[in-house]
Amino acid sequence: MSRETSGGFVVWFTGLSGSGKSTLASKLAAELRDRAVHVELLDGDEVRAHLSKGLGFSREDRDTNVGRVGFVARLLARSGAGVITAAISPYRAAREEVRQRTDRFLEVWCRAPIAELAKRDPKGLYDKALRGEITNFTGVDDPYEEPFAADVVCETSEEPVEASLARVVAALVERGWVHGGSAPTAAPPHDLDAVAHGGSIEERLAPASAHAELLARARGLPTLAVGVQIEDTLDALATGLLSPLRGFTTEREDRAIVDERRLERGIAWTTRVLLSAPEDHPCAAAAKSTMIALRGLEADPRAILEVTETFQIAPKVREIAGEVTVLRTRDKLPLVSEVRTALRDAGHRRVAGFIQRRAQVDGAVVRAALLVADAVIVAWSGATPDISALDLPPLDERRVFAVRIARLPSRAVDDAVLEVIALKNLGASIAIIDPVPLASTGELCVGLGAGPIGASSLVRAHLARWSRSELGIDVVVLDSSEHDARVAIEEASPLPLPPALLDEVVVAYRAGRRAYHDLSHVAEVTCTLESVEERLGTPRSLESFLAAVFHDAVYEAGAEGNEAKSAQLARAAIGRHLTHAKVDVERVVHLIELTARHGSHAPEDVDLAASLFLDADMAILGAPASVFDLYDQSIAYEYAAAVPRDVYLAGRTRFLDKLLAAPRIFLSEDFRDRLEDAARQNLKRALERLPTV
C-alpha cells in the first residue's frame, strides 16, 4: 500500500451524529487560518451531497464514501493544505485504510454517550431510531466501531468546545505540523525544537476509559504468548518511544529496514521490529484484519494486534505484521507526549538527552549539556538514577528530567540510530550517545565491542550514514576512553583484579602504533568471552580471561615474536600481582602463544575453553560489514608505517586466503553458528578489494 507524503496534513474527526464534529472542525479551521495555515474543510454532509451523491447507507456505500473523502483529503494535503474532515466514518477498517495511505493523519474521536446525544438532539432522530422508526442509524441499529487508539479523544459531552479545540491544536503543534500564531486558551504557549521522528507521535496505549472493554474483548481472541523482548517492544510502542511505528512491520517495511536502513517511506530506521510465531501456531496463519491477543508473563493479555499480513523469513516461523493497541505497560511509564508537555510547561525549547545505561550518571556530561541546552533528559530503564548525587545547583537540578522509559529492542552499534530516535521523540534536539554501553554488549558480533578503532569511532561511522536533516537532531558521541575500556575489563573479570596489574596492562597497550590492537580490543574480547561462557554454562576460566588481557600486550605490526613477548610479559605481571590467586600461568602462556597460528588450528587440537578464547579474538571477522570494514582499515593503518606496502599486501593476501581455505574459521560450534557465514562474506570482500601484488 502506498503512503502519500506531503507538507500538509489531514485532521479526521470521527464520532456519532451530534457529537460535535462539525462544530469543532469549524472552530479548528478558523484557528488554523489565524495561524496562516491554508485550510480546506470537508464536511461529511456536504461531501455526500456532491461527491457521494447516490450512495446509500449500507456498509459498502459508507466505506466508499469514506474512501472518497480520504482520497480528496490526500490530494489537498499533498498540495500543502491543512485538511479537516468531519464525517461519522463508522467503520474502523475504512478509517485505518485512509490513515495508512496518508502521511500526516490525525484521528480525532468526538466521544459522547448516546443518552447525552439523545437529550440534545433537536430533531429527535435518536429517539426515533431507538423506537425503530428510523433504520440504519449509526450507534443504534447500525454499528459505530470506536477507535482503539485515536490520536486525540475529545469528551464533547463533558468539556467545553474550547478545551477540545486546545487539545487538537496541541496535538498538531506537538507533531510540528503547525507553527506560530496565537494558541487558543489552554494550548501550549510554545513548542520544543525537536519534532517527533516522522512528524507524528504514535502512542499505542489504550485510553484508560476503554481499557475494561478492550481487555474483555482480548480475553476472547486467539492468543499468542510472547517473550520479554516483545514485551519491551510493546512498552516502547505504547509510550510512543518508537514513533512513527504503530506496530510490527510488514515484509516490505522489514526489507526496507534491512536493505536501506530506512522505513519504506524513507525515514531513517535501523532496527527490525518483528513478531514471530511458530509456523504451526494458529495465529501464524491469521488472515488480514484478524484480531489476536498478545500475552506476556502475566495471565491477562498485554495487547491486541490487528493483522496486516503474515510472512516468512526463517524456516519454521512466520512473522505477523500489524498495528497494536497495548492494554497496559509493565511499569508505570510516562507517555512521550507527557514528557514533551512537561518540558514545554517548564519553558524549555532546546533540550539535550541521553539514555543512562551505566551504574552512575556522569555528572560532567550533565553539566556540559546544561551549558548548551535549556534542559537535560536522563532516560533510564534500569536502576533509578540519583540526580541529587550530581551535586548540581538547585536551579540546574530543576533543569534535569529523569524519565523512565521502556527497554529498547537492542543495544548494538547498529542500533545507535534507534537511541537517537527515542531521544528525539522524548523531546530532545541534542542526542548524547555514550558509545561504550552500546558497543560493549558482550554479544557474539564483536567488532560491535569496544571497537577496532574505539567505540566512539564505530558509532560515529555508523551515524555518519545519515545527515543532520535526515535525523532531525544534533548528535554528540562521547569519546570512549582508556578508562572505559579498563572498566569493561574489570567488570568482565572472574575475580577482582589488583589496580597495579591493570595499571601495567594500560601502559603496555599504550605502546606502539595501534588502531585495532589496543585496550578497546581487549575489552571487546574479555566481554565476549564472559558472555559466551555464561550462555553456554561453562565455568568461567581465569586463564582464558588473563590470556585475553595480555595476548596483544606487546604488538608491532609485521614483527615476529609478538605473541611470545606478550606471554613473557603476562608471566611476569601475574607473578607480581596475582600471587594470592590460583592461576595456571603456563596455561595462560600457552593460550597466548596459540594466537600466533590463527586459522591453523583444528577443533580437535584444542579444548573448549581454548577454542572459545581463540574465537573471541577472531570474532571481529563476523561483524556487520560496516564494522568489519573499519577493522580492515585499522589493520592497514597499523602496517602502513611499519612495512613496505607490497610486503603488507602480500602478507594480508596470504592471511585472507588461508582463512578462506580453512574448512572452518571458528573452532567452537557456538561461534560457527553465529558468525561463520558473515565472516566468509567479509573476508571475500576484503580480498577482492586488495590490489594485485
Whole-number CA gyration radius for the chain:
30
Please name every residue paired with 184 in a beta bridge, in sequence order, or none if there are none.
Answer: none
Alpha-carbon gap, residue 47 to 87, rounded angstroms: 9
- Here the cell at position 198 is 516522522
89 among known catalytic residues: yes
Q: 10 Å Cβ neighbour count for 47?
A: 20
Please name every residue paired with 40 in a beta bridge, in sequence order, or none if there are none.
Answer: 83
Q: 10 Å Cβ neighbour count for 219?
A: 13
Instruction: Annotate 659-688 with b (16+ C-beta within 10 A) or e (fewer).
Output: beeeebbbbbebbbebbbebbbebbeebee
Alpha-carbon gap, residue 232 to 247, rounded angstroms: 13
**Selection from 401, 403, 337, 412 nearest residue 369 by Cα:** 401
Alpha-carbon gap, residue 108 to 21, rounded angstroms: 9
Is residue 309 a contact partner of residue 237, using CB atoms and an 8 Å limit?
no
Alpha-carbon gap, residue 95 to 101, rounded angstroms: 10
Alpha-carbon gap, residue 471 to 456, rounded angstroms: 19
Alpha-carbon gap, residue 275 to 308, rounded angstroms: 12
Q: What does the angle CA 559 – CA 447 – CA 490 come to, to the nearest 5 degrees?
A: 85
Is residue 196 a contact partner of residue 239, using CB atoms and an 8 Å limit?
no
Alpha-carbon gap, residue 527 to 549, rounded angstroms: 11
Q: Indicate which residue of 17, 52, 89, 381 is catalytic.
A: 89
Q: Which residues are catalytic?
A: 89
